[in-house]
Structure 1
């Protein structure tokens, strides 16, 4: 993570603030950005459910990500062209990993329940510290594992109604693994300077991948204006904006903190389900949501403690 810290310091002139002060101020903002991202994604569940009733999931994903890449890329195209060959390679790998996660999740959802899919996808919070420890030799402290365990129990309380292993569960487990790989790689490769361009490349790769796989039978999309309003809104806000915010935030936060923060997504999905779809608000949802929020607060508390704020791979 030293690369990220170096790039971060380059992005703050000495006349503005010392690097340590700037980094301290950036962490709460980065975490707040991730919370906002999870709220957007949680609210998007309702919109996505309606949109995929009118188009196949693959066609929907292809259009959503391609529109997002074009809209975001048109903002500052020169920044994308200025990426080095190595950075383009990072963007390509990040996009393929993210695309693989979405594909595994999409196909896995055909063979398992939505609640089970949500729980297993959230297991990326467990895979993330394991991958960071094995691949990057990051020290994983007991407070980190405690937060991971609390978040996992919270996800289970919200989602599980029984457990069985089948093709859907295996595919969704692969999805969680790919999401964890994406989180770790993004925290390692993303810098404040390159967050925008990396986001454009990632989204473009996912869109092209889905277009290739979905285009075998032809891309079929409805002419309903309501569908396109939903797709464009999802592309601009929940894809271009949200992934840019995530990429930027991950240049400033350890991967494990990011993984725990992202477990808030099903919490917000449950909130919007109650408010919009009139889902039942149960004690399990309240308990699970409280545990997930508590886990995120724990990671923030430990990551800002004087003894651990400068240890990127550890919270304890």
Structure 2
């Protein structure tokens, strides 16, 4: 199995952690400040990765440090705008609009950076977005002012993926991701300082359980894998794996929160999984493999 396939599977595992963490975060945050949760989550993830990869951090150069900050900036803004948007819009709208980065990434790649995008990737993105709509928009979408903040979030998440891809071959991806996560932790902590709902030491254990799971699995694991994976996987394919999150979130909701599994969710999940497989199919190889059989029959 190639490195690209291994990292592709690890990214899907990471989105499973994202999906499970959604239920834990929803319970853990409650009515408190989401910025405090994000600050602890990013800080703990950065600390764990810094300890595990301490030797690699010793060779951190000023340029790699600057690259990590540039990677962390759109990630931080994406999280902040998503949080602000959630205060004014529904979880359904937020999930769907955030998922628009699956189209924004290839658009930016093609329009701004003049890099080619395969035709079947565009088809996959459209199919995946339709599947996402099937899952999250069970009762339709009603747009409001919070959706504008969430649209900004989708743009910055797309910028984050493209920035990671830009620096993936220039610097050690684990160095830059540690810096990026630490930068996000500091930025969210600063935002929390201006949040009237901020409680820095919550007594609710569900808050801390959510922090530990989200930090270790949904953040440290996922972003470390992604930063390394983008040496081998194109940005638009990374974006397609992101859309597995609502699939796993729906399953986690069924198992952890007792929510119902609907037919729309099953159909949407099938569309997303099909969209992920489509770009991996080598049509030329299939055609060439069919040629000898046609000659034998003749």
Pairwise mapping of residues 24-173 of structure 1 onto structure 2 (< 5 A)? Answer: 25-53=2-30, 55-160=32-137, 161-173=139-151
Q: Distance in 2 between matches of 1:229 and 1:242?
A: 18
Pairwise mapping of residues 242-253 of structure 1 onto structure 2 (< 5 A)? Answer: 242-253=222-233
Compared CA separation, residues 274 and 305, structure 1 to 2 (3 A): farther
Report what 2:294 is aligned to. Answer: none
Q: Secondary structure at the residue paired with 2:77?
A: helix
Report what 2:274 is aligned to. Answer: 294
Report what 2:156 is aligned to. Answer: 178
Compared CA separation, residues 251 and 102, structure 1 to 2 (3 A): same
Deviation at 1:104, TM superposition (A): 0.7
Contact 2:20 2:252 in 1 (8 A): yes
Bigger drift between 84-93 and 149-158 goes to 84-93
Segments of 5+ residues of structure 2 without an aligned counterpart are 288-298
Report what 1:310 is aligned to. Answer: none
Q: Distance in 1 between matches of 2:18 and 2:170?
A: 22
Q: Distance in 1 between matches of 2:157 and 2:285?
A: 28
Q: Distance in 2 between matches of 1:214 and 1:281?
A: 36
The alignment status of 1:237 with 2:214, answered yes or no, reads no
Which digits, 9 at most, give the CA deviation of each residue in 1:33-80, with x for residues without a partner?
111011110111110001111631011101111111112112222422
Compared CA separation, residues 200 and 273, structure 1 to 2 (3 A): same
Report what 1:314 is aligned to. Answer: none
The alignment status of 1:200 with 2:178, answered yes or no, reads yes
- Runs (4 or more) in structure 1 with deviation over 6 Å come to 303-307
Report what 1:275 is aligned to. Answer: 255
CA RMSD of aligned residues (A): 2.1
Deviation at 1:306, TM superposition (A): 9.8
Deviation at 1:119, TM superposition (A): 0.7
Deviation at 1:174, TM superposition (A): 0.8
Q: Distance in 1 between matches of 2:128 and 2:285?
A: 20
Contact 1:55 1:221 in 2 (8 A): no
Contact 1:80 1:198 in 2 (8 A): no
Would you say how many aligned residue pairs link Structure 1 and Structure 2?
284
Segments of 5+ residues of structure 1 without an aligned counterpart are 1-23, 308-316
Contact 1:91 1:201 in 2 (8 A): yes
Deviation at 1:192, TM superposition (A): 9.6
Deviation at 1:300, TM superposition (A): 2.3
Contact 1:191 1:248 in 2 (8 A): no
Bigger drift between 26-35 and 160-169 goes to 160-169
TM-score (norm 2): 0.89
Contact 2:15 2:218 in 1 (8 A): no
Contact 1:257 1:300 in 2 (8 A): no
Compared CA separation, residues 154 and 226, structure 1 to 2 (3 A): closer
TM-score (norm 1): 0.84
The structure with more radius of gyration:
2
Which digits, 9 at most, give the CA deviation of each residue in 1:265-306, with x for residues without a partner?
111111111121111111111111110010001122259969
Bigger drift between 244-253 and 226-235 goes to 226-235
